Amino acid sequence: MSLTRDALVEYLEESAGADMDDVNDDTPLFSSGLVDSFAMVDLLMFLEKHTGTKLGPEDIDLDNLDTLARILAFVSARKQQG
């Protein structure tokens, strides 16, 4: 099952307590402080469970995780890698 944008936004609102009202696909989440370190770790756990893979240090990078668009692209790529 692919991760949809709506499901990701809902997760960030409900579980990370982030205010997603003014967030677009390219709004920085972590580097702007909208999502803090604790919530980011929760998000990583969520992504691992969703993709069924373990993330490594090379994956945990703002290039992969700092916006909705990057997270969705990263998850999609991980799914394709199987």
Partner 1 sequence: MTAAPGIVVLGSPRSGTTLLRRILDAHSNIACPPETYVLSAAARFLHEEKFDHGLRIGVLVGLGYAGVEEADALTRLREFTFGLLADNAKRQGKPRWAEKTAFDAFHVAAIRKLCQGHVRFICMQRHGMDVACSLGDLVDKTGGYVDELHPYIRQYPQRLQAFAHAWRDTSTAIADLADEDDGALQIRYEDLAADPEAVARSVLAHVGEPWEDGLVDRALSKTPEQVGFGDWKTYGRAQVDTSSVGRWKKLPAPALHGIAEICNPLLTRLGYDAVQADAVDDEDARRRYELGLMMARMKAAKAAKAAVAKAAKPAKG
Please give the residue ranges that form the binding site for partner 1 (CB under 8 A).
14-17, 31, 36-42, 44-45, 48, 55-57, 60-62
User: What does the alpha-carbon distance between residue 32 and residue 47 come to, in Å, rounded to a whole number?
Assistant: 20
User: What does the alpha-carbon distance between residue 59 and residue 57 come to, in Å, rounded to a whole number?
Assistant: 5
Residue 24: CB minimum distance to partner 1, A: 22
Residue 82: CB minimum distance to partner 1, A: 21
Residue 45: CB minimum distance to partner 1, A: 6
